[in-house]
């Protein structure tokens, strides 16, 4: 249920309604939008109907949310959520491009990539330091040493930083170093990790699971939000299908669909979706055209030597060219892609 408060409701009225809901056994979430203030109330629906809450001063109406995902849903918040990371806004009119290597391999590799993607217009540097690899014999990541390098790259370039966590221990370490936490496809239904990510005060990029339905994905986001972290960014990264030419199949229909069902920002990762660098540019453009709020793109200074995901990584030159083309696509759909001085 959401309790929609009158726009003129006073702080005291909101507090009283919140207190009453909590007395009735509801878990409450205050969602302050520009157009309206609502109190999300999770609990037994019948209780609220008979409680007289609707009559309390400042309450406009009570709206039941029929969908299993509540805080995530458009019904709970009609306007788009814009996630703020330092001076970066994700989910507004500007398209946010996050770029960087699959894995942090060395100081030189990361700093060089960070400088080059920044020059091309990226707003955040990515790099895995805890790598969930299919084989236990593959490179597993630099762990804490990699986190230190990400922090250094962020400090030097002033790019926001993002890295994937795989469990509560890596989450606890990563929050000390980076600006945005990523939960990968393989952990989309690691409910303990989702809950733990809901208790941090940093934004979370939540990737879609390998075979997750949109509802399962949104329920995973609900886990994070239900613990009080409302800064969730959804990332479509392709799903398993029978097709073998590509690593996964990018589900672009998910973008406008999720936008209808939820107020959360949606970004697209064409690198993991395809596994093939030649497909990254066309699908990035497609993603922006269908309404994605941003992209997550793997870029390596020398993809042939990458320790992880080289075949899907763009060279910095190809990335820079793509960014210019993306700015044109963005403007054709009424969005902007700020290339840092060379905006079109
Ligand atoms: C990644 O972003 O490096 C990654 C492992 O992605 P995914 O979880 O989408 O496979
Ligand atoms: Mn990768």
For the chain, the distance separating the N- and C-terminal CA atoms, rounded to the nearest angstrom, is 44
Question: Which residue has the CA at smallest separation from atom 1 of ligand 1?
Answer: 102
Cβ count near 170 (within 10 Å): 20
* Ligand 2 midpoint to CA 103 (Å): 7
* Ligand 1 midpoint to CA 272 (Å): 6
Say if CB 341 and CB 321 are below 8 A apart.
no
Mutation pick for ligand 1 pocket among 269, 275, 294, 310 (CB with most ligand atoms within 8 Å): 269
Please report the pLDDT score of residue 255 as a whole number. 98
Q: Per the structure block, which two tokens stand in for 299? A: 């870029």
| pLDDT-based confidence at residue 36 (cuts at 50, 70, 90) | confident
Say if CB 3 and CB 21 are below 8 A apart.
yes
Q: Per the structure block, which two tokens stand in for 266? A: 């949606």
DSSP H or E segment with residue 321: helix 316-332
Please report the pLDDT score of residue 7 as a whole number. 86
- b/e per residue, 1-33, with b = 16+ CB within 10 A? bbbbbeeebeeebbebbbebbeeeebebbebee
Half-sphere exposure of 133 (CA within 13 A, CB side): 16
DSSP H or E segment with residue 268: strand 266-268
Give dist(CA 240, CA 340) in Å, integer.
36
* Ligand 1 midpoint to CA 81 (Å): 24
Say if CB 17 and CB 53 are below 8 A apart.
yes
- As a whole-number percent, the residues of the chain with pLDDT over 90 amount to 89
| pLDDT-based confidence at residue 344 (cuts at 50, 70, 90) | very low
Please report the pLDDT score of residue 341 as a whole number. 57
* Ligand 2 midpoint to CA 272 (Å): 6
Tell how many helices (H) and how many strands (E) occur in the chain. 11, 14
Strand partners, 165: 183
The residue among 283, 246, 213, 243 whose CA lies nearest residue 69 is 213
Please report the pLDDT score of residue 118 as a whole number. 98
* Ligand 2 midpoint to CA 298 (Å): 7
The pTM of this model reads: 0.95
Give dist(CA 263, CA 58) in Å, integer.
24
- b/e per residue, 258-277, with b = 16+ CB within 10 A? bbebbbbbbbbbbbbbbbeb
The residue among 143, 162, 152, 150 whose CA lies nearest residue 203 is 162
Strand partners, 77: none
The residue among 252, 343, 270 whose CA lies nearest residue 313 is 270
Question: Which residue has the CA at smallest separation from atom 5 of ligand 1?
Answer: 184
Q: Per the structure block, which two tokens stand in for 87? A: 């001076």
Alpha carbon distances (Å) from 283 to 197, 236, 264, 270, 330: 29, 12, 21, 6, 13
| pLDDT-based confidence at residue 343 (cuts at 50, 70, 90) | very low
Mutation pick for ligand 1 pocket among 181, 183, 188, 272 (CB with most ligand atoms within 8 Å): 272
Asked if residue 342 has pLDDT above 50, the reply is no
Alpha carbon distances (Å) from 205 to 13, 192, 224: 34, 16, 11
Q: Quick: pLDDT tens for 134-190.
A: 999 999 999 999 999 999 999 999 999 999 999 999 999 999 999 999 999 999 999
Among the bound ligands, the one closest to the CA of 209: 1
Asked if residue 340 has pLDDT above 90, the reply is no
**Angle at the Cα of 314 (from 232 to 126), degrees rounded to 5?**
30
What residue ranges define each of the domains in the chain, with the CATH number in brackets? 2-63 (3.30.70.1140), 83-343 (3.20.20.70)
DSSP H or E segment with residue 234: strand 232-236
């Amino acid at each position: 249920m959401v309790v929609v408060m009158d726009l003129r409701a006073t702080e005291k009225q909101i507090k009283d309604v919140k207190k009453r809901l909590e007395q009735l056994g509801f878990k409450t979430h205050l969602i302050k939008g520009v157009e309206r203030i609502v109190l999300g109330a999770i609990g037994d629906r019948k209780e609220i109907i008979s409680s007289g809450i609707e009559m309390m001063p400042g309450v406009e109406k009570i709206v039941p949310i029929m969908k299993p995902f509540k805080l995530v849903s458009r019904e709970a918040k009609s306007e788009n959520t814009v996630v703020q990371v330092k001076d970066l806004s994700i989910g507004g009119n500007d398209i946010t491009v996050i770029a960087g290597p699959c894995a942090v391999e060395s100081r030189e590799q990361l700093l060089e990539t960070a400088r080059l993607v920044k020059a091309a217009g990226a707003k955040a540097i990515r790099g895995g330091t805890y790598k969930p690899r299919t084989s236990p014999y593959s490179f597993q990541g630099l762990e804490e040493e990699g986190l230190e390098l990400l922090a250094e790259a962020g400090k030097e370039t002033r790019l926001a930083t993002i890295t994937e966590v795989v469990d509560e221990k890596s989450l606890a370490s990563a929050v000390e170093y980076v600006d945005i936490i990523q939960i990968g496809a393989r952990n989309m239904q690691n409910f303990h990790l989702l809950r733990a990510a809901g208790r941090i005060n940093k934004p979370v990029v939540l990737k879609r699971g390998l075979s997750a339905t949109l509802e399962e994905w949104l329920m995973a986001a609900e886990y994070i939000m239900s613990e009080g972290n409302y800064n969730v960014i959804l990332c479509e990264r392709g799903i398993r299908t029978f097709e073998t030419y590509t690593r996964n199949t990018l589900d672009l229909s998910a973008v406008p669909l999720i936008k209808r069902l939820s107020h959360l920002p949606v970004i697209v990762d064409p690198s993991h979706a395809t596994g093939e660098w030649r497909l990254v540019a066309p699908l990035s453009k497609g993603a922006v055209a269908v309404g994605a709020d941003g992209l997550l793109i793997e870029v390596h200074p020398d993809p042939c030597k990458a320790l992880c995901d080289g075949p899907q990584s763009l060279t910095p030159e190809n990335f820079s060219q793509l960014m210019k083309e993306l700015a044109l696509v963005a403007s054709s759909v009424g969005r902007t892609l700020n290339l840092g001085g060379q905006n079109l």
